[in-house]
Amino acid sequence: MKIFVTRALPEIIKQSLANEGHIVSEWTEKRDLSPAELTDYSLANDALFSIGKNQIDKHFLTACSHLRVIALCSVGYDHVDVDEATKFGIPIGNTPGVLSKATADTAFLLIQNVARKAIYNHKEILRGNWGFFDPMANLGIELHGKTLGIYGLGRIGFELARSCRYAFDMPVIYYNRSHNERAEHELNARRVSFDELLQQSDVLSVHANLSEETEGIFDRHAFSKMKASSIFINTARGAIHNETDLQLALEEGQIWGAGLDVTHPEPMAPGNPLLAMPTVAILPHIGSATIETRMKMMQLTVENILAGLNGQRLPYCVNP
């Protein structure tokens, strides 16, 4: 059968599909496919191996209802209309679990960067500003013993909580729909209300899916309840925070700093004022970008494609 891949694949991954007798075609241009191109290529294939944020909406699904499987090479599926795919009987696969550690490590990296203004100081050296020693210059915030607040304590949040607990002895509080018994038992984490999370966190890190409930939830009201010394971190989805409100909260000193691996829109414009702030660190959505993790994500995507083409239930399926 025929598989369309929205990026060039490493040879070993392509081979694992070809070894099963399938024909693989790849999108090799260094730009995203337009919706019309995605539809055209998908029409000529039986399966879609989707890397990147291709909009899988009602329009696309109606045109491509013949697809036997759509396998996303990501854990997030906020760019997919899963209900509509289910109506058409198209299974949607994702890659849960394998990127939890890498993404949590990115949040951990951002926390330390913001707390010690690392990226800003690096830029200062490039600007020729490493000069006279002033004991009260370049000061950051210590993390030891500070409270970590997690918004959405699933697999990624748990990994970050564990790193912060062991590295910096940080007490953990979290806001979640349900109790996370493992985090409570192993890390002594305490479930709190949303307001308590805002008021008590020294570092507040977002690990929730983008949904109607979470979109824009970190707005000026939320930032105004946080500590003036606090750090806001988002490695989940950029639309969960309101960027204009975040900028204002930083400018007005409602919070101390912010670390983002996700923005809305992406990519962020190079002239964005957040990029110039000393206590802000921004990364270009590299949460899962390690060699090991990206290979595992692609391997899970292959498993989903092969199962879908064989008419089996996908091992990592997001349809109900």
3-state secondary structure of 93: strand
Q: Is 288 a residue that touches ligand DGY (CB under 6 A)?
A: yes
> Which of the stretches 70-78, 84-92, 122-130, 201-209 binds ligand DGY when contact is defined by CB under 6 A?
70-78
User: Is residue 266 flagged as an active site residue?
Assistant: yes
Q: Which is nearer to ligand DGY, 186 or 266 (CB)?
A: 266
Dihedral angle, C-alpha 146, 147, 149, 155, nearest 10 ° = 80
- What DSSP letter does each residue of 247-284 carry, written as one string? HHHHHTTSSSEEEES--SSSSPPTT-GGGG-TTEEE-S
User: Is residue 220 flagged as an active site residue?
Assistant: no
> Could you say which of 142, 186, 252, 266 is catalytic?
266
- The correct pick among 67, 90, 98, 99 for binding ligand DGY (CB under 6 A) is 99
- What DSSP letter does each residue of 104-167 carry, written as one string? HHHHHHHHHHHHTTHHHHHHHHHTT---S--TTSS-----TTPPEEEES-SHHHHHHHHHHHHH
- The correct pick among 67, 71, 75, 283 for binding ligand DGY (CB under 6 A) is 75
Asked if 4 and 44 count as a contact pair (C-beta separation under 8 A), the reply is yes
User: Is residue 20 flagged as an active site residue?
Assistant: no
> Which of the stretches 74-82, 246-254, 271-279, 312-320 binds ligand DGY when contact is defined by CB under 6 A?
74-82
> Could you say which of 237, 241, 243, 294 is catalytic?
237
The three-point CA angle 148-151-152 to 5° equals 125
Between CA 88 and CA 102 the distance in angstroms is 34
Asked if 150 and 160 count as a contact pair (C-beta separation under 8 A), the reply is yes
Q: How far is the CB of 286 from ligand DGY (least distance, A)?
A: 9
Q: Which is nearer to ligand DGY, 3 or 99 (CB)?
A: 99
Read off the amino acid at residue 103: T
- The correct pick among 241, 287, 302, 306 for binding ligand DGY (CB under 6 A) is 287
> Could you say which of 22, 68, 207, 285 is catalytic?
285
- The residue with its CB nearest to ligand DGY is 76
Q: Which is nearer to ligand DGY, 99 or 277 (CB)?
A: 99
Please identify every residue annotated as catalytic. 237, 266, 285
Instruction: Write out the residues near ligand DGY by the rule CB under 6 A.
Output: 74-76, 99, 287-288
